[in-house]
């Protein structure tokens, strides 16, 4: 079945460091890929998405490119800030299922802590 | 930005008891969802709800679970007879339309079954 695997956390970085959080997926069909973020005490929020191969999603300095050949959607940011400390979730939706686009398959989440 | 609201933030119950988790989705949204995350594991889809009926459910969503939209604003998840393994963070989510892929999540209810 469809699944998402993302790197184990926690990840601890200093401010202005480069961030990569790896995400790979297994899916039949042509899923859309997402990164959601959960700040402390809040719900998950959509950070960025990509709906087809080679698309790049970007938001708030974060980027991820949909790589069909490596089945990956790694999250990157060139210079992290303390305010980026949160849990990051990679997710996919399988458009071929024909069901609601809300039926997402998530990874376990990666906790990022950024120190000043 | 409008929010999905979940109550309570933390619920403690005894094994075998019934619990109802409550959610108020964003007012103009039409699709509603429950997800859960057992500590250290993945966020898992439970059920989606549209037009006053379940549109899809996962294998986790067995006969012990039910959902309801009792009025125009609330969306509830009921677990009839809780088990220890039901302990998890439960997230409610909503969106406007099936083609709108952005989900709006609540901050979750941490359910602890003792």
Give per-residue pLDDT as tens, A45-65.
999 999 889 999 999 999 999
Binned at pLDDT 50, 70 and 90, residue A22 comes out as very high
Tell me, what's the pLDDT at A1? Answer: 79
DSSP 8-state assignment for residue A67: B
CB contact under 8 A, B105 and A44: yes
- The gap from C-alpha A18 to its chain's centroid, in whole angstroms, comes to 16
Mean pLDDT over A30-56 rounds to 90
Binned at pLDDT 50, 70 and 90, residue A78 comes out as very high
* Torsion (CA) B57, B109, B89, A33 in degrees, nearest 10: 60
Please return the burial class of A79, using the count of CB atoms within 10 Å of its CB with bins 0-12, 13-18 and 19+.
exposed
Contacts of A100 in chain B (CB under 8 A): 31, 33, 48, 50, 55-56, 98
Q: What are phi and psi of B85, to 5 degrees?
A: -75, -5
Binned at pLDDT 50, 70 and 90, residue A26 comes out as very high
Q: Which residues of A fall below an 8 Å CB-CB distance to B?
A: 4, 32, 34, 36, 41-46, 49, 51, 89, 91, 93, 99-109
Q: What are phi and psi of B106, to 5 degrees?
A: -80, 175
Contacts of B88 in chain A (CB under 8 A): none
Contacts of B93 in chain A (CB under 8 A): 43-44, 102
Q: Tell me which residues of chain B have a pLDDT lower than 70.
A: 98-101
The mean pLDDT value of chain B amounts to: 91
Question: Residue A46 and residue A29: Cα distance in Å, rounded?
Answer: 22
């Amino acid at each position: 079945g469809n699944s998402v695997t993302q790197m184990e956390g926690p990840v601890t970085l200093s401010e202005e460091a480069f961030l990569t959080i790896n995400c790979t997926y297994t899916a039949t069909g042509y899923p859309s890929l997402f990164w959601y973020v959960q700040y402390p005490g809040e719900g998950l929020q959509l950070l960025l998405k990509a709906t087809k191969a080679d698309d790049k999603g970007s938001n708030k300095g974060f980027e991820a490119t949909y790589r069909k050949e490596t089945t990956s959607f790694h999250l990157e940011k060139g210079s992290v800030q303390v305010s980026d400390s949160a849990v990051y979730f990679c997710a996919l939706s399988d458009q071929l299922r024909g069901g609601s686009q809300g039926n997402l398959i998530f990874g376990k989440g990666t906790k990022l802590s950024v120190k000043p | 930005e409008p929010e999905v609201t979940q109550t309570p933030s933390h619920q403690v119950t005894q094994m075998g008891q019934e619990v109802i988790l409550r959610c108020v989705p964003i007012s103009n949204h039409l699709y509603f969802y429950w997800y859960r995350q057992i500590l250290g594991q993945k966020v898992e889809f439970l059920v989606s709800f549209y037009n006053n009926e379940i549109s899809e459910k996962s294998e986790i969503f067995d006969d012990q679970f039910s959902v309801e939209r009792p009025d125009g604003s609330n969306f509830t998840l009921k677990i009839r007879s809780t088990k220890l393994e039901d302990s998890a963070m439960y997230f409610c989510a909503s969106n406007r339309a099936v083609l709108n892929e952005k989900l709006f999540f609540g901050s979750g209810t941490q359910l602890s079954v003792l």
